[in-house]
C-alpha cells in the first residue's frame, strides 16, 4: 500500500488574530510563512506558521473566528496538537512559557516521550514533545535560538466514540500501523513512524460529540507526494465508503477532504508546489497573499480584515 507520509499540516480555530500571532510567532517563535484568507470564508484570515521554508509537516495553521463560542472537546474531534522540540529542550520551554504567563499544565511521559502540556491563549490544547531527530529548517529571525526551536508537528490526539471502524480505516486505507497502548491511548504510526507520523486515539464511548469553536482543531491534513499519490489514496477512501471531496486547488497545495468513520475531518494535501510559489522565500508571511481567483476582490477583502502587527514585539509579563 502506498500510505500517507505523515502530517502535512494541522488547522485550528483561533480567536483574536493578533493574539494568535503574538503567541505562535512571538512566544513559540514560529515563522509565519503565509498570511492569507480562508478561501471558503474570505472575511477571515488563514495564518500559517512553520519552519523557515514552510516545509510539509511543520505547518500549524489557524482560522481566526473570534465570534464563535469556545470549542467543546468530545468525540469525532482532535483534542490535542503535539509539536516537536529538541531533546533536552523542555527546561528552556517551561521557563519561556512561564515568562509569558502561558497556561502550562505540567510535564508527563507517554510512549517513552517527555511531554509538556499547555494551552494557547484561546484554549487550544498543545503538547511540546522532546524528539531526538527531526529534519527542519531553522528560522534565523526567530526569537528562539535555532537549537531550541520548534521542529514541526509531532502528532495529534483524537477521541472516538468507537475505535473499531476508525482503526480499520487508519490501517487499511491510510496505511497506519498500531504501535502500542498506554493509559487508554492507542498509538498509530505511518511511514516508518517517528516525529510527524504519530496519531494517538482514545475510545470514549460515554463522551459527548465534540463541537468546533475557538480553541479547537478544525482538521488534520496528511501528506501525499503528488497528484497521482493523492488520487490513489482518494480512491481507497471512496472504496471504504467514505465520501471524499473532489480535488480542490489551494494554490500552495491540492486538497481532498473527508470525515473518517468516527467523524474527525481529514485532508489529503500534496507536498507541492509549496509556499514559495508566489512569494520570495525571504519575504514569506510579510504581506497578505491571495490565490489568483481572489485577487479581483482584494480591496473588499482587505477592508474587512483587522490589521496585524508582524513580527510581534513582545515584552515578558512582569
Vertex 129 angle, CA 124 and 132, to 5° = 155
pLDDT, residue 95, reads 96
Given the candidates 3.40.1190.10, 3.10.180.10, 2.60.120.10, 3.90.100.10, the CATH classification of the domain at 7-304 is 3.10.180.10
pLDDT, residue 137, reads 97
Dist CA 205 CA 184 (whole Å): 12
pLDDT, residue 144, reads 97
Indicate the burial class of 300 (C-beta count within 10 angstroms; 0-12, 13-18, 19 or more). exposed
Q: In the structure, how many helices (H) and strands (E) does the chain have?
A: 5, 16
Q: Are 39 and 294 in contact (CB under 8 A)?
A: yes
Contacts (Cβ under 8 Å, ≥6 apart) of 184: 202, 203
Q: Which residue has the cell 464563535?
A: 68
Mean pLDDT of the chain: 96
Q: pLDDT tens across 212-246, in order?
A: 999 999 999 999 999 999 999 999 999 999 999 99
Count of CB atoms situated within 10 Å of the CB of 236? 18
pTM: 0.97
Report the candidate in 153, 149, 152, 128 with the shortest Cα–Cα distance to residue 139.
Answer: 149
pLDDT, residue 57, reads 98
Ramachandran angles phi, psi of 73, nearest 5°: -65, 140
Q: Which residue has the cell 488547522?
A: 11
Q: Tens digit of pLDDT per residue, the chain (318 long)?
A: 899 999 999 999 999 999 999 999 999 999 999 999 999 999 999 999 999 999 999 999 999 999 999 999 999 999 999 999 999 999 999 999 999 999 999 999 999 999 999 999 999 999 999 999 899 999 999 999 999 999 999 999 999 999 999 999 999 999 999 999 999 999 999 999 999 999 999 999 999 999 999 999 999 999 999 999 999 999 999 999 999 999 999 999 999 999 999 999 999 999 999 999 999 999 999 999 999 999 999 999 999 999 999 989 776 554
Q: Which residue has the cell 499519490?
A: 229
Amino acid at each position: 500500500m502506498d500510505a500517507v507520509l505523515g502530517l502535512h499540516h494541522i488547522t485550528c480555530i483561533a480567536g483574536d488574530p493578533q493574539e494568535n500571532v503574538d503567541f505562535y510567532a512571538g512566544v513559540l517563535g514560529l515563522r509565519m510563512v503565509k498570511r492569507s484568507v480562508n478561501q471558503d470564508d474570505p472575511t477571515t484570515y488563514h495564518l500559517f506558521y512553520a519552519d523557515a521554508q514552510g516545509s510539509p509537516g511543520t505547518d500549524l495553521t489557524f482560522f481566526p473566528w473570534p465570534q464563535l463560542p469556545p470549542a467543546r472537546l468530545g468525540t469525532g474531534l482532535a483534542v490535542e496538537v503535539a509539536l516537536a522540540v529538541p531533546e533536552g529542550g523542555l527546561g528552556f520551554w517551561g521557563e519561556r512559557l512561564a515568562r509569558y504567563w502561558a497556561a502550562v499544565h505540567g510535564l508527563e511521559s507517554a510512549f517513552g516521550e517527555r511531554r509538556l502540556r499547555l494551552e494557547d491563549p484561546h484554549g487550544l490544547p498543545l503538547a511540546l514533545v522532546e524528539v531526538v531527530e527531526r529534519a527542519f529548517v531553522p528560522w534565523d529571525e526567530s526569537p528562539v535560538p535555532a537549537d531550541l526551536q520548534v521542529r514541526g508537528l509531532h502528532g495529534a490526539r483524537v477521541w472516538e466514540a468507537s475505535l473499531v471502524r476508525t482503526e480499520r480505516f487508519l490501517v487499511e486505507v491510510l496505511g497506519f500501523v498500531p504501535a502500542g497502548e498506554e493509559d487508554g491511548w492507542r498509538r498509530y504510526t505511518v511511514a516508518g513512524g517517528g516525529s510527524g507520523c504519530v496519531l494517538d486515539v482514545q475510545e470514549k464511548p460515554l463522551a459527548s460529540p465534540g463541537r468546533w469553536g475557538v480553541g479547537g482543531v478544525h482538521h488534520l491534513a496528511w501528506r501525499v507526494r503528488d497528484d497521482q499519490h493523492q488520487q490513489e489514496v482518494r480512491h481507497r477512501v471512496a472504496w471504504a465508503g467514505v465520501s471524499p471531496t473532489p480535488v480542490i486547488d489551494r494554490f500552495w497545495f491540492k486538497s481532498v477532504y473527508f470525515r473518517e468513520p468516527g467523524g474527525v475531518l481529514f485532508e489529503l494535501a500534496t507536498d507541492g508546489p509549496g509556499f514559495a510559489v508566489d512569494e520570495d522565500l525571504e519575504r514569506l508571511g510579510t504581506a497578505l497573499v491571495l490565490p489568483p481567483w481572489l485577487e479581483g476582490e482584494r480591496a473588499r477583502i482587505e477592508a474587512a480584515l483587522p490589521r496585524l502587527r508582524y513580527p510581534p514585539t513582545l515584552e515578558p509579563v512582569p
